Structure 1
Amino acid sequence: MNVVEPVRTLVLWCPDWPVVAACAADQVPAHRPAAVFAANRVVATSAVARASGVRRGQRRREAQSRCPELVVLPADPDRDARFFERVAAAVEELVVGVEVVRPGVVAVPVSGAAGYFGGEEPLIEMLVDHVSGVAGVECQVGVADGVFAAVLAAHRAVRVPPGATAAFLAPLDVRELDQPGADRGELVDLLRRLGIRTLGAFAELTERDVASRFSADGLRAHRLARGRFDRPPHRRRPPPELSLRTEFDPPLERVDAAAFAARSLAGRFHAGLAEHGLACTRLGIYAGTERGEEFARVWRCAEPLDAQGVENRVRWQFEGWLRAAEPGARPTGGVTWLRLVPDETVEGRHLQTGLWHGAGATADEERDGRAARAMVHVQGLLGPERVVTARLDGGRGPAERVRLVPWGERHQADTPANPLDRTDPAWPGRLPAPSPATVYRRPVPVGLRGESGAEVVLLGRRELSEPPRAVVLSGQPRAVRRWAGPWPDKLVRSTWQPDRVWMQLVLEGSGDEPEVALLMAADLRTEAPQCPQCPQWTIEGMYD
């Protein structure tokens, strides 16, 4: 791997951006403690919440026990990128060459801007004042050699002198290598178990020792710790024919239509690069409207982009332009053309093998690729919402855990509307495994009768009026052979009342009808028509 000297870079960082964007979207006052959750864990907190003891990585219960008034907000990368557009636009009003590293972080080259404004210090002061005044958010700025060091400098609001980056990085914790999007958690954990706790200690190792013990990403991380360049080598400007432009007729005016167009465009863009053995690490997105307006944004990527990564950034950018931009900066007409430009590329070998469907691909990868292209083609004929795939998601009951999402969309469980809406084994009141083999889209209403022939009534959370003896479906009773339950669908607390209870029953066979195991539920909010004081029992699923 060739050594490339880092470029003097300025990074503007908006602290706690996921919380800032979520509070802006939900109109949560700034003085309220708030935290963003993903997979039932804290991923970002406000300063007020941190003062109450809320920390990243905490479970929701622990965070709320430390701060009962905590505002719980869901993680949503699309929202974060959409609201960050106004910040990027504010920076672009003063400095050209803005690159969005990720929502909350932008990077710009220092040399030209510093010379124009009279030095790095005046540039920093002007940027902070301008972004705070125009976008209305707090920000910190750091300057160093290379994007990685500049991001860490921005976290500390310092300007590292030229040539002093290695000395600045040396005392920092080695966990700084695991920046969002880098996915170096396993590497950092291994280094700490080996007794390497600081970036300086890691930098003292020789490249030969690092290359023999760690992967190629470990070697890149080693160069980051030494203050070297933080990109894969052999970058080059791609030939102009790899840029992709498409026209829209009629013009696009809605985000959902733009997202659908971005999906097919991203696939063609990625395929064109793949044919040349390249992958994009810096993506330029350019658009024009029917009234002659032009918009541009460059996205810097920590890792080479696959087709899904290109699609996500195009969708985020359209949401920023069409929804979140200031009224004067929004397009006044529909988008008539879109152009994707690979501003910077690397050799295709820097991508994982599984991302490529071509030479060297396995038979399974080839079949997956053909199936994906067929699905996209059908979506083009019928529309994106007409081709769906089933995904397991969070929920208490089996029907709630299955969601149909459009083909190609990222899993909706990654950013649920409810932070608890996850496939978490610790979900309160979740029905234990195994799940029924057959789950009815619409539960089937039935009657449940006891030994006396009367409807079975719930006397408490776990108590039935009498043991069940028959299930009545369409007027025909089936004898109950065995049963278990009921179980409430919420964690039992003194102040909570369950909305629903579950039961499992085995019905005896009769004639040609075999023995069958059922999952039944009683909705305590709905009364049975034949018994006003009785709950409505329904069949939710059937076991094999």
Structure 2
Amino acid sequence: MTSSTRVIVLWLPDWPVTALLRSEARTAARAGATDDAGVSPAASQGPPEDVPPIAIMHANRVVACSASARLEGVRRNQRRRDAQGACPSLRLVAADPERDERAFLPLLAGLERLAPGVQPLRSGLCAIRARGPARFYGGEREAAGALLDELAASGVPDARAAVADGLFTAEQAVRLRGPTPFHTDRRVAIVPRGASADFLRPLTIAALSPLGGDEELVSLLARLGVQTLGEFAALDVSSVRERLGEHGARLHALAGGADSRVVVPRVPPPELAREIEFEPPLELADQVAFAVRTTADAVSAGLDETDLVCTEARITLLDDRGGRSERVWLHPTFFDAAALVDRVRWQLQAALEDESSHPDATSSARRLRGGVALVRIEPEAVDDVTHHQPALLGQGPDERLHHAMSRVQALLGHRGVVTPMLAGGRWLGERERRVPWGDAERPARARDLPWPGSLPSPLPSEVFRDRRAAVVTASDGAPVLVDERQRLSAPPALVDGRRITAWAGPWPVIERQWDRTAARRAFRFQVVDETETAWLLVLDGEGWRVEGRYG
């Protein structure tokens, strides 16, 4: 039997749900939704039972769910309608492997600071060779505990660990809920050296299913009467190889506790972020921009060494009074050192501007209250440099456009050049948001949120930000009104003196009915006048108004 290496496997239960919550918390933090101490909600996440019912869906089936959803009867591989039937308040979210991996990478970096040589098996599951950490921390249990403490400090308090001979045995052990004879405490399971076969013997044969999609092989073994790993391991290996091939022989060895795989540590990505501290703190934006030039050059040099370019940069400014300004900047091509310096200057200018001057700016850009003590430049998104090589005749109109807009922005200031952006909302006028050129601001009103009462497609081609007053009357000249039961006093016949040839409505929009001061009740209508022009009209407490015009 091939000897197996002792490994520590760390498992983060329900990781797709945790990754979703951390991603949402990070988005909220970018919009300024951190607490007074500057702690991100992702780092202060409560216990699993406090997470609302959430299910991650793929191909109309549940692939992961929160602990509160399981208490309501939601299970993995459950159909969508069955999951919703078990928990009507269940929140359904589409699976996103990239989101899971992005959220997992910072945790891997934290583990590598304690024990180099981490191998990510998949998002939420990783392995480390046990020998080095066990010698450093004074034992396998102590090493596993130190790694779990690091994950808990990073906002994942429910992580588990297992130590065993080989990756397969350790992964099976980490998924067993304690206490069992192999658990030293609730979080850590240790399978003694040479005891893998005894540990695996009673486990169901379904434990082999996740290994490369072996559902058909597991189903075949079950039909043949093989129900546990011990029964499979007891079969003659030559017979297994003859019937199931080399792959079946490998699974046979795993079932017997002989796992010859070794931990292959990942190669950590290079550290591309750079920062500079100022003592004493600097007060003027030009002083900061001049001093940060060497830092921007260092960022560009680090990218050049790895044949990468930065397309999205995060710039963080800290002052000497605890203030903080953090912003993510985008670039249509890639950032060079001069472009990074410009972003530092613009961000500092925007952070020091009076809030009343720009009421639509995010609060995360207005938190500096003193001199700048630290500037950190971190590439948020990078790309291969070969994708951005100049063409034979130049980069074309996109590069010229960006160059021109950047020049104008440098003259007029950060908000001197803006681009329109669609946000969420019930009213068409509030769905437009103007974002500074090259800025990565996200709208506070997200488009993907439900907006009951919002207008479905097709939308008007022209929207009036300041709604124009209109006069809508019946055929006898009386004003058209809507009562509490949404009944019209009379069919609309004229709009601003023009005959109405067709109309539809009313569609109610009821907002904040729990707040007497902010409550609003309005009704939408679509009408076509005698000139064949279609209008979107609104009737509220102020009377009839025109919200938009079609085509």
**How high is the TM-score relative to the length of structure 1?**
0.49
Query: Which protein has greater RCO, CA pairs closer than 8 Å, 6+ apart?
Result: 1
TM-score (norm 2): 0.49
